Amino acid sequence: MILTVIGARPQFVKAAVVSRALKDFNIEEIIIHTGQHYDKEMSDIFWEELDLPKPQKNLMVGSGLHGAQTAQIITKLEKEMLDIRPQALLVYGDTNSTLAGAIVASKLNIKVIHVEAGLRSFNRTMPEEINRIITDCVSEILFCSSEEGVKQLEREGIVTNVFNVGDVMYDALNAYGPIAKNKIKLEEVLPFEYEPYILATIHRPSNTDSSFNLEGIISAFRELPYKIVWPLHPRNRESITRFNIPENVFIILPASYLEMQVLLQSCTKVCTDSGGLQKEAYWSKKPCITLRDDTEWVETLSGNWNMLTGPNRTKIVNAVRTKVELNTWKELYGDGKASVRIASILKNLI
């Protein structure tokens, strides 16, 4: 039996497709939700839309400082793991829930399975980078999204039970994209009558907790000849009140996964500091401007499909103006069958 620990909305999406594959391969799974993303806009609606199996428990840790939040998850999760005694623990990505789960399982001599292993931005000031490195170090089964992840783990001396399976987010995009198109009309989520627009998401503390950085991004938006649709992360509602929002920027409530798919498929370009949206933009053939100085998804930088600008006003404006040639696009991160490969490998290994 596998225990899956998730706590943030990108992990809900990944788990939706992997859990379905585990079920198809008759692998028993129990899910625990840490409550890292805890309100309806960031959590509940994802479970409803994606038809995720109900979690056995919600640890309800909520938000907080990184150390305190991680410690809470470790403390609460250890008790659950001692009761459940799974054969293995499955974690996704690079959140505090991922790190906490990996630490608890490794202390209890329970195998750790890491999906999205081997990713590196090489920026250790990002908490996510530390979470990735430590989780990979204690994992016994590592599933990479690309060959670059496999090579990075090899450089770090991790070579056993490392598999390039592709990216489960691609599975989700293929599975839920058509559902989104049939279920949700663009006019239901777009706050104006259609015209070319940019989809923006900004949630990294390095941007949202810095008035200087956020001002640089908003100033760039003011100069762009596009309307900007910005689904606002709940934790940023207060900080955004300090700024004069340009008339071409439309702030909306957090979008559900299906709503985001509809907005993504109809937009002209994407401006984001998210990791997952960089990939989704690439798969959807939407040029992406990443409001960071680095990315863990280095393959997307080819052909200017993804451009790194940081929060620099001039760089953002120039990147949006840069033309991207469609013939430079190529398949990245597998063929949309990563979850099936993961389940098949786990069936043989566990």
Q: How many residues does the chain have?
A: 350
Active-site annotation holds for 66:
no
Question: Tokens 């943030």 — which residue?
Answer: 8
| DSSP run (H or E) holding 201 | strand 197-201
Q: Edge-to-edge strands of the sheet including 141-144? A: 57-58, 29-33, 2-6, 88-92, 111-117, 141-144, 162-164
Under DSSP, is residue 281 helix (H, G, I), strand (E, B) or coil?
helix
Q: Using alpha carbons, list the distances in angstroms from residue 226 to 140, 221, 255, 258.
A: 47, 8, 20, 23
Question: Tokens 């941007």 — which residue?
Answer: 207
Q: How far is 333 from 166, CA to CA, in rounded Å?
A: 5
| DSSP run (H or E) holding 229 | strand 227-231
User: Considering 37, 114, 203, 233, which one is annotated as catalytic?
Assistant: 203
Asked whether 86 and 110 are in contact (CB, 8 A), the reply is: yes
Q: CB-based burial of residue 48 (10 Å sphere; 0-12 exposed, 13-18 middle, 19+ buried)?
A: exposed
Q: Report the DSSP beta bridge partners of residue 229.
A: 199, 250
Asked whether 246 and 222 are in contact (CB, 8 A), the reply is: yes
Known catalytic residues?
A: 203
